[in-house]
Amino acid sequence: MAVTKIRKVSSTTLLVLTVVSVLIFILFFAGGAELDAKGNKDYAFTGILLYWTYFLFLVTIVATIYFALRNIVSAFQTNSRRAMLSIGSLVAFVVLLGITYAIGDGEPIKGLNEASQSYNTSGWLKVTDMWLYSIYVLFIATIGAAIWGGVSKRLLSK
Q: What number of other Cβ atoms are within 10 A of residue 100's Cβ? A: 20
Nearest Cα neighbor of 89 from 108, 107, 116, 71 is 71
Residue 113: predicted pLDDT: 82
Tell me the C-alpha distance between 136 and 142, whole Å. 10
pLDDT of residue 21 exceeding 90, the answer is yes
Distance CA 34, CA 153 (A): 61
When the pLDDT of each residue in the chain is averaged and rounded to a whole number, the result is 90
Judged by DSSP in three states, 17 sits in helix
pLDDT at 10 exceeding the cut of 80 = yes
Is the predicted pLDDT of residue 1 greater than 70, yes or no?
no
For residues 79 and 105, the answer to whether their CB atoms sit within 8 Å is no
Q: Are 108 and 119 in contact (CB under 8 A)?
A: no
What would the pLDDT profile of 45-88 be if each residue is shown by its tens digit?
A: 989 999 999 999 999 999 999 988 898 888 889 988 888 998 99
Judge whether residue 14 has pLDDT over 90.
Answer: yes
Domain ranges of the chain: 1-78, 80-158
Cβ atoms 127, 104 nearer than 8 A: yes
For the chain, the farthest-separated pair of C-alpha atoms sits apart, in whole angstroms, at: 72
